[in-house]
Chains A and B, each alone.
Chain A
Amino acid sequence: MKVALLSESPADEAALRVLVEAVLSETIVLVQPGLRARGWPNVAQVLPAILRHLHFNTDAAGLVVVVDADDSVVHTAEHEAPGYFHPQCRLCQLRGIFRKTQKRFPPLHGRDRVLRAVGLAVPAIEAWYLCGQDVQVTELAWAEGQALGLAPYTRRELKWRVYGTDRPNLGFEIQRAVESVRRHRGDLRRLETDFPQGFGRMAHDLRDWRQTAPRE
């Protein structure tokens, strides 16, 4: 399947590719490798142009976007209700951009639109890397901390736990990212259990692709 990934760094992209292939159970062909955004809100700013480019200028079947939640509202099951949109939830916002941007696109390259898969790493992608290794790091733990106004950990601390420093060099960051997510390749249930909204929803989006994506 031809897939584009929009991420914040080469490390994120490398990890995301492993996860996407694990969910789809197939090797993907990366369309336009190296699509980057400079964090939030830049992702939301560049996404319409990227969608337009992918739709008209490439034959990408789908686009996967993952953003860090940072301190923003965590996506919950409530947000999945039909017609619901939480204006401070980054996952809801990105889905809204997909919808609005592609609404008037004509069918092209054998598909109606570029398929959507959106993930929200709560609070940062390092939390996913720690899944299965650090039981304290889960979406629920973060959401409960948010409700109490006391974070159970910080983004910097997650970096320390993953890389042994909060200033990793890029080569090492890529290596650790890929090592971490490869542990889940065979069985994604733990990731989907510990990160049901941020990772689980993305995996759900990707599984839906199997029915609709054009094949080579």
Chain B
Amino acid sequence: MLRSSGPMPAVAFAGEVCQPPDVIASVQFKHFKALRATSLRMEPFNLLIGPNGSGKTSLVQAFLRLRTLAARAPANGQSAAPPPPAVETPAPRRPNGVPEIIFRFPPPFADIEVHLGGHSEHRLDLLQVRHPPGGDAEARWEQLRTKLSGIRAYLFDHYAMAGPVAPADSGELASNGRNIAAVIAAMQAQPTPAFARLQAEFCRALPEFTGVVPRPAEAGGLELALRLKDGGELVAAENISQGALYTLAMLTLSFSPRPPTVLCLEEADRGVHPRLLREVRDALYRLSYPTSYGETREAVQIVATTHSPFLLDLFREHPEEIVIASKQGRSATFARLSDRPDAAEILAEGSLGDLWFSGILGGVPEE
């Protein structure tokens, strides 16, 4: 008789290719808020789970700080700190230590390191770029700096999304999604199929709608409306559910012709029905694995946070994409689920969301 003895090892197959992260390879934290001493290897897609206060948002803040300070950095890659000293200069001793965040990058930027530092764990204002001397490395730092300028973080606000917006405010989706009507109108005006694909995907996910309609609002502005399947009536964004608007915002990013290079999305599940979370995952995967979706643009590195066991369930086949943030006292650490030696056995035992809730994966509040 056959016996189940845990997951079987499998032979490798040709279709499986390991896509390296596109922008950030790893990040190391020292004395930054709750992240006292931890590091994280970054994947193309990263889903962070963990209790409140376990450093998920701090990771996003670190990325945003990297973008801001890298934009200020001089071209020769030295300290961008206003004013000196740079992070290497000894700082006054503090009981909690000097905060430092070290970013490393994938090839062809693997010999470049960026150190963020500061005199307070709540304010990082020093940046130092370390790379080999020479024009080649400086040119690559410039290239990397351009990529870093594309880091974006989103936390959607349905009240802001429902309001009117100036048509000219259509460059890129704002961090709270407030200009979604203008961004979608601009997509619609382009001679590309992006808008049609966005609309088709949205209406497939929410079949009660048949159209996404940016329309004129008061004072020359634009507002968003959705066309109902039943009767064809247009419903203004202020009367549309939070989850529908957030799903539309994620699809807008997903089909954007110029998406961010790194996209941080806080509470990716917020307001969305558990059964619609598959659409959320797909929208994000379209960004981070574009070739799997027939897209030809560059991959977007994703950092998403969630408290939803239902969203987590959708990543069972990809434990390497799950980051568990755990907190002990005032200190938090990150760990990848796939780095656990018993990950395969654990995943064979039940749903990932249930296992997380049980506490055996970590990433649960202290009681």
Contacts and interface: CB of A to CB of B under 8 A. Distances in A.
Q: Answer yes or no: are A and B bound together in one complex.
A: yes
B196 interface: no
B5 A74 contact: no
Given A160-B15, A166-B317, A42 B5 contact: no
B10 A146 contact: no
Contact of A171 (B3, B201, B313): B201
A170 B2 contact: no
Nearest to A39: B351
Interface stretch (B29-37, B65-73, B277-285): B277-285
Contact of A155 (B289, B292, B317): B317
B15 A151 contact: no
A143 interface: yes
A157 B201 CA distance: 26
Contacts of B318: 166-167
A36 B275 contact: yes
Contacts of A71: 4, 6-8, 348
Contacts of A154: 10, 13
A162 to B, nearest CB: 11
Interface string A123-147: 0000000000000000000010111
Contacts of A190: none
A73 interface: yes
Contacts of B270: none
Nearest to A71: B7
Given A157-B10, A169-B282, A73 B3 contact: yes
Contact of A167 (B275, B292, B316): B292
B343 to A, nearest CB: 13
Contacts of A38: 310, 313, 351, 353
B4 A72 contact: yes
Contact of A145 (B3, B8, B310, B348): B8
A152 interface: yes
Nearest to B317: A156
B9 A149 contact: yes
B8 A168 contact: no
A88 interface: yes
Given A41-B351, A167-B285, A76 B2 contact: yes
A77 to B, nearest CB: 12
Q: Chain B: interface residue count, which band? A: 35 or more
A51 B163 CA distance: 47
A168 B286 CA distance: 9
Nearest to B283: A169
Contacts of A155: 317
B10 A150 contact: yes
Nearest to B204: A171
A154 B7 CA distance: 10
A150 B354 CA distance: 28
B203 to A, nearest CB: 11
Interface in B255-279: 275, 278-279
Nearest to A76: B2
A105 interface: no
A167 B314 CA distance: 10
A74 to B, nearest CB: 6
Contacts of A78: 1
B293 interface: yes
A114 to B, nearest CB: 24
Given A145-B8, A147-B2, A165-B289, A170 B279 contact: yes
A150 B282 contact: no
A101 B318 CA distance: 35
A165 B292 contact: yes
Interface in B134-171: none
Nearest to B275: A36
B13 A169 contact: no
A169 B353 CA distance: 21
11 contacts: A38-B313, A39-B313, A40-B351, A143-B2, A147-B2, A149-B8, A152-B10, A160-B13, A161-B15, A166-B16, A170-B282
Closest 8 pairs between A and B when the two form their complex, measured CB to CB: A165-B292, A160-B15, A151-B10, A151-B8, A169-B282, A154-B10, A157-B13, A71-B7
Interface of A: 9, 36, 38-42, 70-74, 76, 78, 88, 143, 145-147, 149-157, 159-161, 164-171
Given A150-B9, A160-B16, 6 more contacts: A76-B2, A152-B10, A155-B317, A166-B318, A168-B292, A170-B278
